[in-house]
Structure 1
Amino acid sequence: MKKPFLYLTFFLLCSGALWGQSLSFEEAVAKMRSGNQKLKGIEKQAQAATEGQKAYQGLYYPQLSLNASYAHLAEPLSLNFNDYKAPIQQHMRAMIGGLPPLGQGLFAPLLGRLQPYFSQDWRYEFQKQDIWRVSADARWVLYAGGKVRAANKVGALNSEMANIETKKTEYALISELAERYYQVQLAQKALEVRQQSLETAEHHYENAQKFEKNGMIASIEVMQAKKAVTDAKREVLAAEKDMQLARTALNGVMGSDENDNLPLSSELFEVAPLQALTYYQQQAKENFPLIVQAKLKQQMAAENVKVQQSGYLPDVAAIGKKYLWSENLPLTEPDNWVVGVGLQWNLFNGLQDKHKIAQAKATQEGVALLIAQAEKDVQTLVKKLYTEIEKQREQFVSLEESLRFAEELVRARDKAFSEGLSTSTDVADANLYLASIKIKRYQALFAMDKTLAQLLETCGMRFLGGRENYEF
């Protein structure tokens, strides 16, 4: 009689197919792109880098601003001439007193008429306390020693590096998705093998009971057959748990609901014969994301050298100002508009420029050395992955012959048991051996598929899933 968990497993596997629904590897990749939060976060960083690149482009254009200010002085600004009143008055009196009587009579009335002015405050206020300004200002950098061009180049490199980081993250997630996806398929195949073993063990147990009733075998053989059924049930339960864990891991990578259990339609596949090892090593040398990013950093370091060298050159900018409204503007500021050209040239800053240039060159040389080592390391990694795929293919082919032997062994042991020439232990061992060979074959396929995804990730190539996509 079928057990409830077998019905449940069959329902989960077939319910999606019943409604025409399944999940191919390509569809799983699409779900991952829309649901994985890590990938979305990296894409936002790439978007931010693109906006940063556009911000650097603004350095080529004039900078316009609207400025308003209010200032209150401690006291009005004025010129004080009071100290000159008494000396001037005395000098005028002495001058008139030294004139002849006719001249004194003529100028004395004039001195009388000027007398009220000497009683006044001789203070001239030329600046009130409250100053109001509203102006439009413009500044346009005409020459900055190459800083603006280098900044735009760095902005473009930053944007490209962010895009490479997005690609690297996406390919790494696809590689992880491939492992999780085909791990579910492996768990499913292992579960099917264990269920078949359980059915075989139950069938053998039923036969053993019949043979015992007919006096053909001893009761110990029936006990051995029952033990084989118990062991097979335990293996089925363990396989179901492995299936659940693998499915949970897959949903985690896709960022989907844990209850999303559509059957998977992309089967485990044997990787077709690969191209020459040198092909993949060259692809990795040119496209391995970490190497590409390191080369971009090397270009950024070169631009940084130019920026630091530009410190020896002057900065030239055109400036302009137009007062839109003002009140009590100082006499030194024109109440209209002004344009001009400014130059700034740092002649000495404690040898900072020299040391910054040396620092930038050292960074550039250091990145070059890291790139050289990374290229060597990636060659080794590609060879390791390539060799692993070839090894697993050899294992898969070798297990084909073992599978035929195991199937023949099970058939022979079943026949021998029915003729009383074999024991239940022999039959159980044969069935276990057959199950192990089947699972090893699926494991070899899984290892090939997983390693192929890793190899393509290292080469900067997209893993698409399915044998038909990799007829190299």
Structure 2
Amino acid sequence: MMIPLPVREGLQASKKLMQTVCLLTVMSVSAIFILSQIQSASAQTKPISPTVPSESQLPDSLNPSQNPLDLPTSPEQVRLQQAQPITLQQAIALAQRNNRELQIARQTLQRSQAALRQAQAARLPTLSGEAEFSREQNASDKLDDLDDGEESSPETPLGGTLEVGYDIFTSGRRSGRIGAAQEQVRFDRLDVERLNEQTRLDVTNTYYDLQEADEQVRISQAGVNNAQKSLQDAIALEEGGLVAQFDIVRAKVQLGNAEQELIDAQSQQDIARRRLVELLSLGETVDVRAADPVRQAGEWKLSLEESIVLAYKNRVELQQQLAQRRIAEQQRRVALAEARPQISLFANYQVLDDLSDEFDLQDGYAAGARLRWNFFDGGAARFAAAQERNNRAIAETRFAQTRNQVRFQVEQGYKSLQANARSIQTASAALQQAQLGLETARVRFQGGVGTQLDVISAENDLTRAQVNRLNAILNYNRALATLQRAVSDLSRRNSSASQTNSK
């Protein structure tokens, strides 16, 4: 049977059109795949890894379980082992690796990076497909067939649609969302650095607390030894008839007080050790002790004014407020875009067939552009933009507030450092005099010239002098660590503020 020429030309045109649409669809899918791979590669970020000093050799036994949900169920799993000595640098390295708050900050950064990639996905076209298969029989058609004396048969339609879409103009909504996501990543990255430096300061202060507790135990033990020596001298002199029984009783009271102070100091030492273990997030059976001796940490060679200016330059808290300001500005653009025109392109290809009839599969296509413009939304977009303007103003005010706090922290650390430097000299001289005074009082008491009260007074003076010098050195070290934190940890930024180890 010959097909008429117009019908034949129409079929050929339809066939060519179908081929063109199919080709465009394949090209669109390929382009989407390639762009997705490019975007994924460009969005890759360097892994967030803790900064660990190379000189710190850390045994694996100190690290906690890899499973954060691990919960011990037997006493053996939480029984402490022998205390492991660690240096301050090792403690800082362990905290940067294991501290839970720091880990949460890194995970928050990774979440923001994923949100950024989600926002960047709006730069690519979308491809969606839909298929539908059903078997249906309309009740109204059955009634009509009964009126006509015919029997209706169910229909079995099978159809599908493949559509490609792309937003070519969004009035700044897409770029605003991407910009806000980028600033959020920057904010969270700065927050990781902020917590890293704060963790360093917290570990340093906790380590100094442990050193102080250790020294208090040593001083208390020396006090017990001195009290025992005084009791032995009193007993020897009492046997020679040089002192009264009351001196022995007083020496025993002094020894009992010294032993009680030693017990309290040992208890505080245990608590300080466990506080450091908790901050470092170590294993359940791990216990630690300070390996570094107590000594002056170093010097600060910048003036107060130079320290303040350098803190303004380095502190990430100031940069975070600027990032918050930029986030608010980008969110304002997104809010205003909701009331502005949005233009998108689309192209789709449809196929439909009824499996219950004798006709072949039929297809079709559609292509065009869509314009969406929300002319009136009750002022929702305008008020949302007003909220973001206020958020920007809040960030600016917090910037000024943070700047004032930074200056105060620098001044506080600087003044405390100077005061404690003078205290070290005074306490060292007083300690030498207290040691000489105890030796003199003991010699006088053994020779029957002095009294037991003189010895006890000299022992108390020596203990007080030792404590004062210990506090002066550790308070100096704490002030130095606070000042380093206030100017954003100069030791890792290679700035001109250098530290020199004391003798």
TM-score relative to the length of structure 1: 0.78
Q: Which residue of 2 aligns with 1:295?
A: 322
Residues 1:470 and 2:496 aligned together: no
Q: CA deviation at 1:71?
A: 6.6
Q: CA deviation at 1:157?
A: 1.0
Q: 1:298-337 alignment to 2 at 5 Å?
A: 298-323=325-350, 326-327=353-354, 335-337=363-365
Letter in 1 for 2:199: L
- Which residue, out of 443, 466, 470, partners 1:438? 466
Q: Which residue of 2 aligns with 1:451?
A: 479
Q: Which residue of 2 aligns with 1:143?
A: 169
CA distance in 1, matches of 2:499, 2:321: 29
Q: CA deviation at 1:274?
A: 4.3
Q: Which residue of 2 aligns with 1:89?
A: none
CA distance in 1, matches of 2:159, 2:292: 73
Q: Which residue of 1 aligns with 2:270?
A: 244
Q: Which residue of 2 aligns with 1:97?
A: none
Does the 8 A contact of 1:225 with 1:425 survive in 2? Answer: no
Instruction: Give structure 2 stretches of 5+ with no counterpart.
Output: 1-81, 356-361
CA distance in 1, matches of 2:272, 2:301: 28
CA distance in 1, matches of 2:490, 2:353: 65
CA distance in 2, matches of 1:326, 1:29: 70
Q: CA deviation at 1:244?
A: 0.5
- Which residue, out of 248, 258, 273, partners 2:300? 273
Does the 8 A contact of 2:85 with 2:288 survive in 1? Answer: yes
Does the 8 A contact of 2:155 with 2:354 survive in 1? Answer: no
CA distance in 2, matches of 1:324, 1:446: 81
Does the 8 A contact of 2:435 with 2:462 survive in 1? Answer: yes
- Which residue, out of 246, 259, 263, partners 1:233? 259
Q: Which residue of 1 aligns with 2:415?
A: 387
Q: Which residue of 2 aligns with 1:65?
A: 128
- Which residue, out of 35, 52, 57, partners 2:98? 35
Does the 8 A contact of 1:134 with 1:326 survive in 2? Answer: no
Does the 8 A contact of 2:96 with 2:199 survive in 1? Answer: no
Q: Which residue of 2 aligns with 1:429?
A: 457
CA distance in 1, matches of 2:440, 2:187: 64
Does the 8 A contact of 1:291 with 1:375 survive in 2? Answer: yes
Does the 8 A contact of 1:72 with 1:129 survive in 2? Answer: yes
Structure 2 vs 1, CA of residues 444 and 326 (structure 1 numbering), >3 Å: closer, same or farther?
farther
CA distance in 1, matches of 2:253, 2:126: 86
Structure 2 vs 1, CA of residues 66 and 262 (structure 1 numbering), >3 Å: closer, same or farther?
same
Residues 1:218 and 2:244 aligned together: yes
CA distance in 2, matches of 1:274, 1:362: 42
CA distance in 1, matches of 2:479, 2:132: 67
CA distance in 2, matches of 1:315, 1:414: 94
Q: CA deviation at 1:278?
A: 2.3
Does the 8 A contact of 2:331 with 2:388 survive in 1? Answer: yes
CA distance in 1, matches of 2:354, 2:100: 57
Q: Which residue of 1 aligns with 2:233?
A: 207
- Which residue, out of 432, 436, 439, partners 1:404? 432
CA distance in 2, matches of 1:251, 1:469: 30
Q: CA deviation at 1:183?
A: 0.8
| SS in structure 1 of the partner of residue 162 of structure 2 | strand
Which piece of structure 1 moves more, 26-35 or 430-439? 26-35
Does the 8 A contact of 1:286 with 1:292 survive in 2? Answer: no
Does the 8 A contact of 1:184 with 1:246 survive in 2? Answer: yes
Q: CA deviation at 1:148?
A: 1.3
Residues 1:356 and 2:419 aligned together: no
Q: CA deviation at 1:325?
A: 6.1
Q: Deviations over 1:124-175 (max 9, x none)?
A: x9xx865433222211111111221111111111111112222222222222
Which piece of structure 1 moves more, 235-244 or 283-292? 283-292
Letter in 2 for 1:288: R
Structure 2 vs 1, CA of residues 71 and 296 (structure 1 numbering), >3 Å: closer, same or farther?
farther
Does the 8 A contact of 2:85 with 2:291 survive in 1? Answer: yes
Q: CA deviation at 1:299?
A: 0.7
Larger Rg: 1
Letter in 1 for 2:499: Y
Residues 1:255 and 2:318 aligned together: no
Structure 2 vs 1, CA of residues 51 and 362 (structure 1 numbering), >3 Å: closer, same or farther?
same
Which piece of structure 1 moves more, 132-141 or 417-426? 132-141
Does the 8 A contact of 1:187 with 1:242 survive in 2? Answer: yes
Q: CA deviation at 1:39?
A: 2.1
Q: CA deviation at 1:284?
A: 3.2
Which piece of structure 1 moves more, 258-267 or 420-429? 258-267
Q: CA deviation at 1:226?
A: 1.9
Q: Deviations over 1:265-298 (max 9, x none)?
A: 2333324134222233233334434332221110
Which piece of structure 1 moves more, 24-33 or 236-245? 24-33
RMSD of aligned residue pairs (Cα, Å): 3.3
Structure 2 vs 1, CA of residues 259 and 439 (structure 1 numbering), >3 Å: closer, same or farther?
farther
Letter in 2 for 1:64: L
Does the 8 A contact of 1:161 with 1:293 survive in 2? Answer: yes
Q: 1:43-62 alignment to 2 at 5 Å?
A: 43-62=106-125
CA distance in 2, matches of 1:273, 1:350: 60
Does the 8 A contact of 1:171 with 1:462 survive in 2? Answer: no
CA distance in 1, matches of 2:468, 2:432: 14
Does the 8 A contact of 1:35 with 1:256 survive in 2? Answer: yes
Q: Which residue of 1 aligns with 2:368?
A: 340
CA distance in 1, matches of 2:468, 2:284: 29
CA distance in 2, matches of 1:432, 1:369: 53
Letter in 1 for 2:194: K
Letter in 1 for 2:336: Q
Q: CA deviation at 1:451?
A: 3.2
Q: Percent identity?
A: 17
Q: Which residue of 2 aligns with 1:101?
A: none
CA distance in 1, matches of 2:371, 2:132: 26
Residues 1:413 and 2:476 aligned together: no
Structure 2 vs 1, CA of residues 130 and 445 (structure 1 numbering), >3 Å: closer, same or farther?
farther
CA distance in 2, matches of 1:353, 1:455: 46
Letter in 2 for 1:166: V
Q: CA deviation at 1:250?
A: 0.6
TM-score relative to the length of structure 2: 0.73
Instruction: Give structure 1 stretches of 5+ with no counterpart.
Output: 1-14, 82-119, 329-333
Q: Which residue of 1 aligns with 2:72?
A: none
Letter in 1 for 2:189: N
Does the 8 A contact of 1:77 with 1:129 survive in 2? Answer: no
Total equivalences in the alignment = 408
Does the 8 A contact of 1:251 with 1:258 survive in 2? Answer: no
Does the 8 A contact of 1:453 with 1:463 survive in 2? Answer: no
- Which residue, out of 209, 212, 215, partners 1:186? 212
